[in-house]
Amino acid sequence: MVTLPAPLAAWHAIADRRDATDPADLLADLLAHDVVFRSPAVHTPQEGRALTTAYLSAALVVLGPTLRYRREWWDDTSAVLEFEAELDGFTVHGVDMLTWNDAGRLVDFTVMVRPFTGLTRLMELMAAQLAG
Amino acid sequence: MVTLPAPLAAWHAIADRRDATDPADLLADLLAHDVVFRSPAVHTPQEGRALTTAYLSAALVVLGPTLRYRREWWDDTSAVLEFEAELDGFTVHGVDMLTWNDAGRLVDFTVMVRPFTGLTRLMELMAAQLAG
């Protein structure tokens, strides 16, 4: 039996929810105040818990229904999770990269996806979700 | 002193070369015959040692001069390497994902990069390098 680092287990508990509960309360317990979100699309980091919560909540709406985690790697302060999802027939293959502090709160959440078609479709759906 | 898995150490030896040697001979020792290369741009896997060697050699020409590996994670059969590079002022932040077989030969080499501007510039430069 492999024991996951607590922040990684906490993220899985949030991502694995199959109900429509807003994850903001759960994320508030997991994210450090000064957490930074680095999107697959934009170079500029999105700074702070409010912005990061907005992006992660939107990503869970857009990707959540088809999100499947495939493999993961971790050490004492970070983890990489490989995932796949389907967006209107476009395959999205990506990684979530989580880094946490000594208190077990995430200080960095970076997402990368491939291929180009999957990224562009994800960008369109994320923009609509964030605007909605 | 951390001991890297042999395939990961072999990849670093290839990527860290700072001379102009063609890496094809070195890659021939590292890649399985049925290796698959999954590019950040294209959904379709590039199958076989010849195509994978062509893509990795081109990537080392394009990214090599500014390539810096930042963090890495691994287990018995795979590794994830986080890197950064600069292409004409565009930042490319990415991961190499390596999977190897029991003989220590790579069977899958997947690359993902962010942000969108870095991916599009990388695609342009890779297309030119592969056509050259």
In tens, the pLDDT along A2-49 reads 789 999 999 999 998 866 678 888 899 999 999 999 999 999 999 999
CB contact under 8 A, A41 and B115: yes
Burial class (CB in 10 A: 0-12, 13-18, 19+), A1: exposed
CB contact under 8 A, A115 and B40: yes
Contact A114, A95 (CB under 8 A): no
Alpha-helix runs per DSSP H in chain B: 6-15, 24-30, 49-63, 116-131
The model's pTM is: 0.96
Predicted local confidence at residue A18, as pLDDT: 65
Instruction: Please state the domain extents for chain A.
Output: 6-15+22-131
Per-residue pLDDT reduced to its tens digit, B3-48: 899 999 999 999 988 666 788 888 999 999 999 999 999 999 999 9
The listed CATH number (3.10.450.50, 2.40.128.110, 3.10.290.10, 3.50.70.10) that belongs to domain A6-15+22-131: 3.10.450.50
> Count of residues for chain A?
132
Q: Judge if the upstream peptide bond of residue A115 is cis by omega within 30 degrees of 0.
A: yes
Mutate to test the interface with A, among B8, B116, B121, B122 (most CBs of A within 10 A): B116
Of B73, B91, B114, the CB nearest to A73: B73
Contact B95, B82 (CB under 8 A): yes
Task: Give the gap in angstroms from C-alpha B20 to the nearest C-alpha of chain A.
Answer: 29
B21 touches chain A (CB under 8 A): no
CA-based angle B28:A80:A2, to the nearest 5? 105
pLDDT-based confidence at residue A60 (cuts at 50, 70, 90): very high
CB contact under 8 A, A113 and B112: yes
Task: Give the gap in angstroms from C-alpha B79 to the nearest C-alpha of chain A.
Answer: 8
**ipTM > 0.90, yes or no:** yes
CB contact under 8 A, A40 and B116: yes
Predicted local confidence at residue B68, as pLDDT: 96
**Residue entry with tokens 């294209």:** B42
Per-residue pLDDT reduced to its tens digit, B85-119: 999 999 999 999 999 999 999 999 999 999 999 99
Chain A hits for B110, CB-CB cut-off 8 Å, are: 93, 114
B91 touches chain A (CB under 8 A): yes
Of B73, B93, B111, the CB nearest to A74: B73
